[in-house]
Structure 1
């Protein structure tokens, strides 16, 4: 591992502004990490241009590499050493010219598109939109008319399935050449032979070779974060490489799911991603006159040209997801499918976490990560994101409903299903019966662990190949057809004949329950040390929950394929968890840790611990029901005192919504011998706002909070509030992705340590997993040390064995405790990072809990806060001492 000191020679990273020294260090470290093919964990406080540093560092390396890599290509081309020198030189020059020609052709087309876009006027675009609307309306009428002519239930029947060959005659299995009787392997050989013999058009030639180009794949958690990154992509200008001669900006493609990119007027209105995916697939299988009008048929010359025009239009400028949809609508091309053609020719791909982390999505999008640069931003979310993506749950009611739907489906269509379909449908019903009986008969307590084999090996289910069942459901689309038919039956039974003539079928907007159950069963086939299954009884229902414990398993393929992987975030501490639970198999020398200071001067940030309140009560927010009133009131008095020295806005983070509500009730109680409540005392100085539980109300609260602060000023009338206070929740809606800059957060207060529930089944399972890892690693290391002294393991003295067992237990306990603390401190760090958003900003961070005085806890804070924190035995952690420090801090501002 290497820390943040970088001594690379000065480079020009083409930063659009004059970069700070720490930004140059960041870009140097990033470029070196890519060059050396390492894994990088980069921490850069928000407000110092992390996104631009990532762009400039990675793109500068990529443009330099585009020149160097070609030299290597020509030198390493397959040659016969016995050939004359002039023959080898001629061969290399020919390769070089061919390689350059494809870039020149691409650039020429992109330049034509740019010139065309500059000439287009708004009126022309309006005419295109009007014409498109007419086309959509005509298509909708054709679909509605065709639906009336169809048998009402024929659309629910799956295609014939051959259970012997594990293949079906479904239309979507027809290969690209249109011959479903020839295997994909033979098709590939035929296609290769066709190319070798010149049987192709000139337009295809320029597409060869791009797949091997190194690209940057940038992933972030939300689409809003990706949109912000795209805005930053537009700022720098990079010089052309030997291959890419354009003086214009980089080539970029944004990828997303159908939910964001579908432009079909009916499908895009569906609420659920799975419903959109299945409806899209269904439209592709329809007869030609009823297929999606935006889907291009690559066997048609006109459609191929249209797809390439879309690709060139996308590459002609830096686009975001919304612009991709607009281009697709204006050209009547599906942006979801057409964007794939642009990926192989671009330099930067932006995409949300799921598209990168799930191999099924990568396969669907034809994305190869081999030798690519992977940058994952906001990576403090990564461990939780992987765990969430691959954890799942099913309930008894899910199973009963699914079984009823499948049985009803089989009874209706039994005579119309061939033998292959019947075999698989019958096996599915058997699986559902076994799951139902298991949940009914399970005697464990709430939160009890369930052995995976106890579920999979019941009643002869082990003879059923769940992998084949999963493949069958994927190819046949049975789950969606069963769900659709069930909805049709319910609506038919509850609607009279007159209503049926006018009522439209309600769109299915949820994941088919059969798909949900199958995903759970597939998770059970994972090795038992990768995840655990739990029983839970809640809301009158019984549940089985699969919890992923080993995120490294699903991330390993990315690490092993990619050239390098960069995890970047504003607060990455504590970094130890990434090393232990994401890269346990990676040699430590292949990991670079880079953490840089903040751009603000030291005097612009103050950080103090408040351990005792105004009446001397110890401020330690442990779970104690008897102290809630007492410590809640002491916290209120502490906040009321801070109101006098912290100007403008203050954001106070609580461990949970429940605790925030309880504290607010304490503040509103009238104290003995007091003429007013603590709540009233605070509101005299600052208007109070509370984070809502309802996400839809967040923007309104933030807007009111911001407006209140913009309306307040130093010359207000006496008696009016001088600012505002926002009560928020760690891990809530305001603890991430929201910038509290300048007057919005002159003070950030962290109340307590937000430890997760230690008694929850999930946390118990995670800590046991951590303990087992630490125990096994320590045992292996200790016995390896004794190996030289005792080659025969049976000769090891009992006292040594006892000592090893003690060491293993201590290591397990320590690892469990540290993991628990790290989960807490990641949440703390993310919340307190909401303030200080630019170089001239200033604020104070106040940790209201005596435990923040512990060195163990402080060492898990970001370095830029830790270095500015007043700590140690001489630090004054009383409210009086902190008030004096805060008052002095703001005197100079």
Structure 2
């Protein structure tokens, strides 16, 4: 890997960095060297995360070296070793390291800082860890702090829906030492080093896998790894929330904090310090305390009557609080509910707004203050732990949700402690500066008045919601930096405008960067459009957004752009209502149909699961060669605009239909703007006005949507801003720095359309064609997962790092250019086919030969699409199969008929077998796995174990009778399960298929579609036909009475002709062989009996082989009417005889009647019978052999 000198720090980068990457790393290292904060913007696709990790870790390595040198120098001076040469060398090295690590870190010459890397979601953290695994710094020690939701593997805790419930339940189990995984963790911690067991670079998935394998708690392992980690990954909220930092033991003093994807930081800072208390929340808390009080009273009553000794003490943990504590807390909450109801709200629609100090005044009325908050929080934690760990079924269905909400509220209000000697009032005033209190009455459900004479009671029982809103993200940032953080770096792809962002944070940012993109100018086209094709102005403001003329003009514009934009087109609306109204209007006036003539249109849904389905459909349509791409209609600030990758053909153009301003009349938005206007000029730094903030929110959302289209160095696309307000200079200044110079303003629609056509034609001719990528849905969401991630476990790392070769490739660090791991494996397999000569090396499952390989089976000769129903042998051809290669039908004809040489045919046939042989095993094994899953869903656990044992025994002994006895007992009681019994036919050995088909017909009334050729393994038949192809073609021609094989194309490979289904005495008709590829290769062989081939024709040889196994090829031969056994219950011939352990025989129907009885005893001897002990009798018996 190349070493890049960045401000004296040697950065080991995977490849020669772009100029923008060097500039970015310079700014990162400048922040670290000077110990100052920085805001760094670099567009998506420029390798921002990789540059950030490599530069910061390179600096950290030099810092470690400097600290170690200081230690050695200090030891040397204490030892009195003052050699001049050595001192000169040490001084020179110290100066060199000081120049690379910076001079501002004085006072901590023996302390190595940690890097705390925070991002918004766990999936984004996983992407960052995997980038680190592929870099040269994959030997640093890593810790990932996650929640119990991601890391807990305890079955009882995992099934809880609420994260708060999981937290308290986990704490209760740990305190009571009833969690096996935590106890094992403590044992490992005493006897070994967790880091050595887990590895250096690990993420959440690594720790969960390790925990499940070793049965040890991943959550506490992650916390333990934090102590010696060089870099710690965690979500934003764990870092910004003081109570979360304390709970997870996150130490920020003297450390470096990096916020990646920081464009959401402002909102997260405010939300983490705010709350809404609804009447339902307070009522839930009071009800939980009420039920708890009743339970404690009942326990006390039972104790007095000595009944407590009869209870299960393990199910009733001893509470750490008294009934009196519960009643006092309940009284406090009821008083709070009454005080909130007393608040007079003159305007019920707008609500009432109070200054932030009002919250302390309100709570003090019910004796909740700084002096009592520690007692209340401690009591609440004890009660919540007790309620969540309760297993006595006392009705705690809410699992302490209301009490948890109240505890969180108290922690937000009393977020800081009163300093020693400080004033409570001053602390309250300081905290209240960033807040507003809002009281909003709940609107009652207005129902239609039925009785006009009825007078409604004048009551106000609907309740009021109490909101405590933080309007200063700097409140959290100031609290964070007050703990001695060395420097804070904020970075994202969309932070513009930087000035407003830094002013909102209220801390200085001396280092800033607005990076250009890695693409060239000709790779992007940006235009603002003022009018539609019909000359109507495009302006999505409040007055015109629902105007039908505007909506129709926008729709007509979209019709034209859908015609000229190749592949994927993204259209973003300001909000869901505007999007829905436009689509409704287009459907009514016919514009919708005009759009879909060029591209199918998909709409972003609100639900999470529905969104994943729509994304999958979008990617499928993009990759469908029969379509011209697709249109995805979405909203700004929605799921599509954040984090999804629309690289290359997935997104060739993005259209923004308007400025997505926040809802102006929303109380929180109005108060935010009011707060900023009131604060402007009062602070010691420049702040935004309310109007500037309002406009900046829209610009950030636009920039985030614009970032969807250009995703890597070789990508290209168009950006169209369809609102006349975008043409203003102030709006252009709000766009990303790499977009601004490219903006062109269009007053005439035709010119914009013409220039877009020219752009795409030029791009398609000059830029490389992207590789086709597999479908990817975002939500997985993983919705936003890194498609290029390669898991490289660091446990027991030996030898050279396996990722160095891949890491030198630029696409490996650009998610849009990376192939998925599944695609890489497929490509590798294809290369092996091409260069190692043969498909037999491809199949990863080629060594799996039986159902137990899927339990574990597959026999190559079985048809992959076999369906066991009454029409399976005469399945109609699928019209979609016309595109598939046609199969061959071998027909024996006279010499004078048209024909082709058999050698050519056999070469074709054998070649096709070779081509599909590798895929047969995989597809058939998958079919077997599907069968096993279907059986699992049908059977209970005990029955499935019986089923598995029967399969294992059949594989071992080959005795079909025992297996059929078990299968019949499991699958023939309920007619709905008959299909499972019939489907087992495909896994029966060839020699047993005829027998099984007969049994199936008797038990279920329907056979399995048995054909005589099913009794011959496919490999034997294929090898026989292949051997015939070795006969010289010349000899075949001289055979006067022989037959020539002629290929005839047939589409419906599963369809047999009417003629071929009949057997005559003078000719042998149709022989059907199941192909391994999943389609039947039907070879109809017809031979005129006009002579005899002395060597025997191919048909005769095959028929002789079939006769050896199956007997005469005559499907009309009836089965024997007499089984040879007499049923000891009905005294009739046992058509389907089963023998019990007591050796008595009954027919299957009689045995079913026996098992339907309660006693389940043998009709002959009265011994109790078990279904699993019945054995199917498949061979005729004699009367003298029957038990007496």
User: 1:761 and 2:674 equivalent?
Assistant: no
- In structure 2, which of residues 645, 648, 652 is the aligned counterpart of residue 742 of structure 1? 648
Give the SS at the match of 1:643. Answer: helix
User: 1:85 and 2:76 equivalent?
Assistant: no
Q: Aligned pairs, how many?
A: 683
What value does the CA root-mean-square deviation take over the aligned residues?
A: 3.1
Give the SS at the match of 2:32. Answer: helix
Deviation at 1:466, TM superposition (A): 5.5
- In structure 1, which of residues 257, 266, 284 is the aligned counterpart of residue 147 of structure 2? 257
Deviation at 1:459, TM superposition (A): 9.5
Distance in 1, Cα, partners of 2:561 & 2:355: 53
Contact 2:53 2:132 in 1 (8 A): yes
- In structure 2, which of residues 468, 471, 474 is the aligned counterpart of residue 552 of structure 1? 474
Contact 1:312 1:342 in 2 (8 A): no
In the other structure, the counterpart of 2:282 is 399
Q: Relative contact order, CA 8 A, sep 6+: which one is greater?
A: 1
In the other structure, the counterpart of 2:699 is 825
User: 1:726 and 2:645 equivalent?
Assistant: no
User: 1:225 and 2:124 equivalent?
Assistant: yes
Q: 1:866 to 1:12 in 2, by over 3 A?
A: same
Distance in 1, Cα, partners of 2:110 & 2:380: 31
Q: 1:327 to 1:468 in 2, by over 3 A?
A: farther
Give the SS at the match of 2:719. Answer: strand
User: 1:425 and 2:326 equivalent?
Assistant: yes
In the other structure, the counterpart of 1:659 is 578
Give the SS at the match of 2:640. Answer: coil
In the other structure, the counterpart of 2:488 is 565
Deviation at 1:851, TM superposition (A): 0.5
Distance in 2, Cα, partners of 1:368 & 1:362: 7
Residue deviations 1:780-830 (CA, integer Å, cap 9, x gap): 89xxxxxxxxxxxxxxxxxxxxxxxxxxxxx99x71111111111111111
Deviation at 1:666, TM superposition (A): 0.8
Distance in 1, Cα, partners of 2:173 & 2:470: 35
Deviation at 1:472, TM superposition (A): 4.1
In the other structure, the counterpart of 1:133 is none
Distance in 2, Cα, partners of 1:686 & 1:419: 66
Q: 1:8 to 1:337 in 2, by over 3 A?
A: closer
Q: List runs of 5+ in structure 2 lacking aligned partners.
A: 88-107, 301-317, 415-427, 445-461, 764-1188
Contact 1:374 1:566 in 2 (8 A): yes
Deviation at 1:294, TM superposition (A): 1.3
Contact 1:431 1:461 in 2 (8 A): no
Distance in 2, Cα, partners of 1:850 & 1:650: 21
Task: Give matches, 1:682-701, under 5 Å.
Answer: 682-701=595-614
Give the SS at the match of 1:845. Answer: strand
In the other structure, the counterpart of 2:135 is 236
Deviation at 1:537, TM superposition (A): 3.3
Q: 1:305 to 1:478 in 2, by over 3 A?
A: closer
Deviation at 1:338, TM superposition (A): 2.2
Give the SS at the match of 1:344. Answer: helix
Task: Give matches, 1:448-487, under 5 Å.
Answer: 448-451=352-355, 454=358, 456-457=360-361, 461=365, 463-465=367-369, 468-474=372-378, 477-480=381-384, 483=387
Residue deviations 1:718-776 (CA, integer Å, cap 9, x gap): xxx52211001101111101011111111100110000011111011111111112142
Deviation at 1:625, TM superposition (A): 6.2
Q: List runs of 5+ in structure 1 lacking aligned partners.
A: 1-5, 93-208, 239-247, 492-504, 671-676, 782-810
In the other structure, the counterpart of 1:294 is 181
Give the SS at the match of 1:543. Answer: strand
Q: 1:608 to 1:626 in 2, by over 3 A?
A: closer
Contact 2:528 2:720 in 1 (8 A): yes
In the other structure, the counterpart of 1:437 is 338
Task: Give matches, 1:103-142, under 5 Å.
Answer: none
Distance in 2, Cα, partners of 1:774 & 1:423: 50
User: 1:578 and 2:578 equivalent?
Assistant: no
Distance in 2, Cα, partners of 1:637 & 1:336: 55
Task: Tell me which moved more, 726-735 or 440-449.
Answer: 440-449
In the other structure, the counterpart of 1:678 is 591
Deviation at 1:329, TM superposition (A): 2.2
Distance in 2, Cα, partners of 1:596 & 1:830: 16
Task: Tell me which moved more, 209-218 or 637-646.
Answer: 209-218
Deviation at 1:490, TM superposition (A): 6.3
In the other structure, the counterpart of 1:628 is 547
Residue deviations 1:56-79 (CA, integer Å, cap 9, x gap): 111111111111122234556898
Give the SS at the match of 1:653. Answer: strand
Residue deviations 1:291-350 (CA, integer Å, cap 9, x gap): 10111489x7x44345x4432223x24222011011122222212112222222221211
Distance in 1, Cα, partners of 2:262 & 2:202: 24
Distance in 1, Cα, partners of 2:475 & 2:364: 30
In the other structure, the counterpart of 1:124 is none
Distance in 1, Cα, partners of 2:440 & 2:567: 47
Contact 2:559 2:591 in 1 (8 A): yes
In the other structure, the counterpart of 1:26 is 24
Q: 1:837 to 1:422 in 2, by over 3 A?
A: same
Give the SS at the match of 2:701. Answer: helix
Q: 1:305 to 1:87 in 2, by over 3 A?
A: farther
Q: 1:297 to 1:746 in 2, by over 3 A?
A: closer
In the other structure, the counterpart of 2:64 is 66
Deviation at 1:401, TM superposition (A): 3.1
Distance in 2, Cα, partners of 1:84 & 1:342: 35
Distance in 2, Cα, partners of 1:26 & 1:481: 48
Contact 1:473 1:479 in 2 (8 A): no
- In structure 2, which of residues 168, 174, 179 is the aligned counterpart of residue 284 of structure 1? 174
In the other structure, the counterpart of 1:855 is 729
Distance in 2, Cα, partners of 1:212 & 1:591: 25
Q: 1:885 to 1:396 in 2, by over 3 A?
A: same
In the other structure, the counterpart of 2:253 is 370
Give the SS at the match of 1:711. Answer: coil
Give the structure-1-normalised TM-score: 0.72
Q: 1:36 to 1:471 in 2, by over 3 A?
A: farther
In the other structure, the counterpart of 1:108 is none
In the other structure, the counterpart of 1:386 is 269
Q: 1:388 to 1:459 in 2, by over 3 A?
A: closer
In the other structure, the counterpart of 1:885 is 755
Give the SS at the match of 1:477. Answer: helix
Distance in 2, Cα, partners of 1:877 & 1:602: 23
Look at both structures and tell me which one has the larger radius of gyration over its CA atoms: 2
Residue deviations 1:271-305 (CA, integer Å, cap 9, x gap): 2111111001111232x5xx10111489x7x4434
Residue deviations 1:415-434 (CA, integer Å, cap 9, x gap): 85999746643442343123
Contact 1:218 1:377 in 2 (8 A): yes
- In structure 1, which of residues 530, 533, 545 is the aligned counterpart of residue 434 of structure 2? 530
Deviation at 1:386, TM superposition (A): 1.4
Distance in 2, Cα, partners of 1:218 & 1:459: 37
- In structure 2, which of residues 145, 165, 168 is the aligned counterpart of residue 275 of structure 1? 165
Task: Tell me which moved more, 69-78 or 248-257.
Answer: 69-78
Task: Tell me which moved more, 404-413 or 721-730.
Answer: 404-413
Task: Give matches, 1:161-176, under 5 Å.
Answer: none
Q: 1:737 to 1:419 in 2, by over 3 A?
A: closer
Distance in 1, Cα, partners of 2:157 & 2:175: 15
Deviation at 1:669, TM superposition (A): 1.2
Deviation at 1:591, TM superposition (A): 2.1
In the other structure, the counterpart of 2:15 is 17
Contact 1:406 1:482 in 2 (8 A): no
Give the SS at the match of 2:212. Answer: helix
User: 1:867 and 2:741 equivalent?
Assistant: yes
Contact 2:641 2:708 in 1 (8 A): yes
Deviation at 1:668, TM superposition (A): 0.8
Give the SS at the match of 1:864. Answer: coil
User: 1:513 and 2:513 equivalent?
Assistant: no
Give the SS at the match of 2:739. Answer: helix
In the other structure, the counterpart of 1:784 is none
Give the SS at the match of 1:85. Answer: coil
